[in-house]
Amino acid sequence: MAENGLASRLYNGEAGLNIVGRRKLWFGVAGVLVLIAILSFSIRGFSLGIEFAGGNSFQVPASVGTLDDAEREVNSALAAKNTGVEVVTAQKVGGPGGDSYELRTPQLSAEQATAVKAQIADDLGINADQISNNQVSEAWGSQVTERAVLGLVIFIALVMVYLILRFEWRMAVAAVASLITNLILTAGIYSLVGFEVTPSTIIGFLTILGFALYDVVVVFDKVQENTRGITANNNQTYGEAANLAINQSLMRSLNTSVVALLPVGGLLFIGAGLLGAGTLKDLGLVLFVGMAVAFLTSILVATPLLALLKNYDPRIQAHNKRVLTRRGGAGRGEVAGKGAASPAAQADATDEPVDQDAAALAGAAPKVGARPAGKRPTGARGGRPGGGGNRPGGAKRR
């Protein structure tokens, strides 16, 4: 029984998962999630770091105590100077002078920042020279965003050109749609959960595009292999061949995603979580979320969308009709005679791959207008009577 388990069938490409046939379900789920993400963009927005919203950062030596102690003292100093703001984020960072705590606050004036720095030094009992105070303008974040958007546009344009030259324009459209869906869903998770958006997040967004594209190209390469010369035979529709390609490459895509997520997970949960390397958190988080979403979109969005686009091709339409007509003609034999729907009717109604047993019965059924094969009946009501008797125009000899 273990040899026939799901893992074994996935590894051999024999799982028979009907991904393309249920594309309406995947498109519906993806559409709802994209709508939720867009609504979150409009209502909640994003939690922008000081690089984008502007603000101040104070760095104090880690020798003053724990990170919570440092955050509590900085908040106390902010309240004492009547700034009306609190610490937004706090993390442990390393540097040439040793470990320190970086605490970020909303925008402060130069006078307020100087007064708060002096108050922090007085409360912690350290020299004011040991505290670093930096002010970040939101203009710098705007420049980063503009360059990131420009890089995204150039990347998508190059991807379109490459996929058109390597495959065809329909595959390029399906791949880019999958990439855009991946970006929207990942950004939606950031908006809904409230993860902070930093320049590292933007870099991570551009990085996951390359991973998502690789996963899509792997599947599309198998689709191209399965559908090469498909119109020369009447065995499979384009959707069935594409669905077979997904099953054959699913285990490879899953292994690639798991192998990629393991080091990213270590970067996020061990480096940033346990070891306190806060500078790794932003990059690790967006990579982990984006790669997980990229695996799902490359399987559930890209290839089903490709099959949908190909079904509008007149050559593929004619081929699919020939396949279904052939099965329908064969299915009028024993299977249809029992009152069950023929495999062609099932495929036409649901666009699901035809069951192998039903296909075998359909392949063995006689063609339309052909005389049924089998043993010819004998006797008076059967075929030609034996003994030469009762021939037309003659009498039986005695």
pLDDT the model gives residue 10: 64
**Per-residue confidence band for 39, with pLDDT thresholds at 50, 70 and 90:** very high
Residue 21: pLDDT over 70: yes
Q: Angle CA(20)–CA(24)–CA(30) in degrees, nearest 5?
A: 100
Span 128-177, pLDDT tens digits: 888 888 887 777 777 877 888 888 899 889 989 999 998 999 999 999 99
Helix then strand then coil, in percent of the chain rounded to 5, is 65, 5, 25
216 against 383, higher pLDDT = 216
Residue 23: pLDDT over 90: yes
Provide DSSP, 1-49. -GGGSHHHHHHTT-----SSTTHHHHHHHHHHHHHHHHHHHHHT--EE-
Span 59-94, pLDDT tens digits: 898 888 888 888 898 999 999 888 888 888 888 777
Residue 298: pLDDT over 60: yes
Contact 301, 177 (CB under 8 A): yes
Distance CA 206, CA 296 (A): 18
CA distances from 366 to 233, 329, 333, 348 (A): 19, 8, 7, 21
Helix (H, G, I), strand (E, B) or coil at 92: strand
Q: Give the dihedral sign, CA 358/360/365/367.
A: positive
The stretch 295-312 carries a mean pLDDT of 92
Q: Angle CA(312)–CA(32)–CA(262) in degrees, nearest 5?
A: 95
